[in-house]
């Protein structure tokens, strides 16, 4: 009886274990049958029962049913992704110097740091999976960007790239990337031209050129300053000369006016003397009065000193002839 009891217990334990195993299998099958796709992802159904090996339509966000053991889902992020190529360690997807080396139109070598921001096209993710699977970042985006940058840089001179044509260069690269990525089931979001640097030799040449240009500008500034100083001195001298001319002209005009006034006064004085002969005696007395120290004594003569004879006629000049 004891052996029969042990056999019964063992059979019950085996049944329980089998039930547990079946339940685990069922749960596993159910979990592989019901697939949840998050909002920021899309899914590609790889199927052993579908022609071509994949379902034609991708799975959008939500719950989906697939055949267990015969189908599985590969999820792809719909979020933006950034691929950076830079000379600085730790900035890009690859360690070390990963900048793009390019040749300009004038044969100079430049090194360009760049970032491209992109996303997968959710409606074309099945084709992307067939062509690239998860290798599209390294095997599609990276070589595509590097090639387009090299082609665009070869259309410009080195000085144009770093100054006047940099924005134009960036616009050309962006336009080309939009087209090429769309052909490969990607959506181009943005392109950033992070930095442009040169070889050590060219950097030295650029520095020397800048120094020479600064020296030339300094020399030009000195020349301009000297010209301004010379012009200022010329204007001062001109002003002084003009002032002297004006002063001389003023003095001459004043002298002329003074002479004219004196002549007019003499003319008026002569007219007065002719009309009033006694005025001459009055003037004569006025001229003598400051120095006269004589006491007048009444006599038959009116004045001690003889008065000038205003009636005296000038003796005419009679020309003489030589026999």
Residue 321 lies in a domain: no
Sequential DSSP letters for 261-317? HHHHHHHHHHHHHHH-THHHHHHHHHHHGGG--------SSS-SSPPP-TTPPPPP-
**In this structure, is residue 142 part of a structural domain?**
yes
Whether residue 22 sits in one domain with residue 40: yes
Q: What gap in Å lies between CA 93 and CA 82, rounded to an integer?
A: 9
Residues 53 and 130 occupy one common structural domain: no
Instruction: Tell me the CATH number at 164.
Output: 3.30.479.30
Number of domains composing the chain: 3
The answer on 174 and 262 residing in a single domain is: no
Asked if residue 316 is part of any domain, the answer here is no
Residue 186 lies in a domain: yes
Cα separation, 140 vs 73, in Å, equals 23
If you average pLDDT over every residue of the chain, what do you get? 80
Domain of 58? 2-76
pLDDT band at 205 (very low <50, low <70, confident <90, very high): low
Q: Answer yes or no: do 98 and 165 share one domain.
A: yes
Same domain, 97 and 194: yes
* Angle, CA of 195, 199 and 205, to the nearest 5°: 105
Question: Is residue 59 located within the same domain as residue 112?
Answer: no
pLDDT digits (tens, 9 = 90+) for 86-111: 998 888 888 889 999 999 998 889 99
Task: Judge if 169 and 214 occupy the same domain.
Answer: no
pLDDT for 29-53, tens place per residue?
556 688 899 999 999 999 999 888 9
Assess contact for 37 and 62: CB atoms under 8 A.
yes
In which residue are the tokens 């003023």 written? 250
Q: Does a structural domain hold residue 295? A: no
Domain limit, last residue, from 148, 173, 198: 198
Q: What is the pLDDT of residue 300?
A: 55
| Claim to verify: residue 215 and residue 182 sit in the same structural domain | no
Q: How does pLDDT run across 139-186, given as a tens digit for each residue? A: 999 999 999 999 999 999 988 988 889 999 999 999 999 999 999 999
Residue 296 lies inside a defined structural domain of this protein: no
Segment 282-308 mean pLDDT: 56
């Amino acid at each position: 009886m004891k052996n029969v009891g042990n056999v019964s217990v063992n059979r019950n334990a085996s049944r329980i274990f089998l039930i547990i195993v079946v339940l685990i299998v069922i749960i596993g099958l159910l979990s592989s049958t019901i697939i949840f796709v998050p909002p920021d992802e899309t899914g590609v159904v790889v199927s052993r029962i579908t022609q071509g090996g994949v379902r034609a339509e991708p799975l959008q966000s939500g719950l989906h049913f697939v055949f267990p053991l015969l189908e599985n889902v590969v999820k792809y992020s719909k979020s933006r992704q950034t691929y950076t190529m830079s000379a600085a360690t730790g900035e890009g997807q690859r360690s070390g110097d990963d900048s793009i080396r390019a040749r300009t139109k004038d044969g100079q070598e430049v090194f360009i740091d760049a970032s491209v921001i992109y996303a997968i096209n959710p409606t074309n993710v099945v084709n992307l999976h067939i062509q690239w699977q998860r290798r599209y970042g390294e095997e599609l985006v990276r070589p595509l960007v590097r090639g387009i940058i090299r082609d665009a840089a070869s259309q410009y001179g080195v000085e144009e790239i770093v100054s006047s044509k940099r924005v134009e260069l960036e616009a050309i690269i962006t336009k080309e990337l939009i087209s090429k990525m769309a052909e490969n089931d990607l959506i181009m979001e943005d392109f950033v031209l992070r930095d442009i640097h040169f070889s050590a030799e060219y950097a030295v040449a650029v520095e020397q050129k800048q120094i020479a240009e600064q020296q030339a500008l300094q020399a030009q500034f000195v020349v301009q300053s000297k010209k301004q100083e010379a012009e200022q001195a010329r204007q001062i001298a001109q002003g002084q000369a003009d002032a002297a001319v004006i002063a001389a002209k003023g003095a001459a005009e004043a002298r002329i006016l003074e002479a004219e006034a004196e002549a007019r006064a003499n003319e008026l004085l002569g007219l007065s003397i002719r009309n009033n002969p006694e005025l001459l005696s009055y003037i004569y007395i006025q001229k003598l009065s400051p120095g006269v120290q004589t006491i007048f004594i009444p006599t038959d003569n009116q004045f001690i000193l003889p008065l000038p004879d205003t009636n005296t006629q000038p003796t005419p000049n009679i020309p003489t002839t030589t026999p």
